[in-house]
Structure 1
Amino acid sequence: MRVDKFLKVSRIIKRRTIANEACDAGRVMINGKVVKAGAEVKIGDVIEIQFGNNTTKIEVLDLKESTKKEDAVNMYKSL
Structure 2
Amino acid sequence: MRLDKFLKVSRLIKRRTLAKEVAVQGRININGKVAKASSTVKVGDELSIRFGQKIVTARVEDLRENVRKEEASKMFTILKEEKLDKVEPEFVDDEE
Structures share a fold, TM > 0.5?
Answer: yes
Local SS of the residue matching 2:56: strand
Local SS of the residue matching 1:57: strand
Partner of 1:3: 3
- TM-score, with structure 1 as normaliser: 0.99
Structure 2, unaligned stretches of length 5 or more?
A: 80-96
Q: Distance in 2 between matches of 1:18 and 1:59?
A: 20
Structure 1, unaligned stretches of length 5 or more?
A: none
Q: 1:49 is aligned with what amino acid?
A: I
Partner of 2:28: 28
- Could you say which structure has the larger radius of gyration? 2
RMSD: 0.4
Partner of 2:67: 67
Number of aligned residue pairs: give it: 79
Please state how far the C-alpha of 1:74 moved relative to its aligned partner: 0.5
Please state how far the C-alpha of 1:69 moved relative to its aligned partner: 0.4
Moved over 6 A (4+): none
Partner of 1:44: 44
Identity between Structure 1 and Structure 2 (%): 53
Please state how far the C-alpha of 1:53 moved relative to its aligned partner: 1.0
Please state how far the C-alpha of 1:70 moved relative to its aligned partner: 0.5
Q: Distance in 2 between matches of 1:54 and 1:43?
A: 24
Query: Which protein, 1 or 2, shows the higher relative CO under an 8 Å CA cutoff with sep ≥ 6?
Result: 1
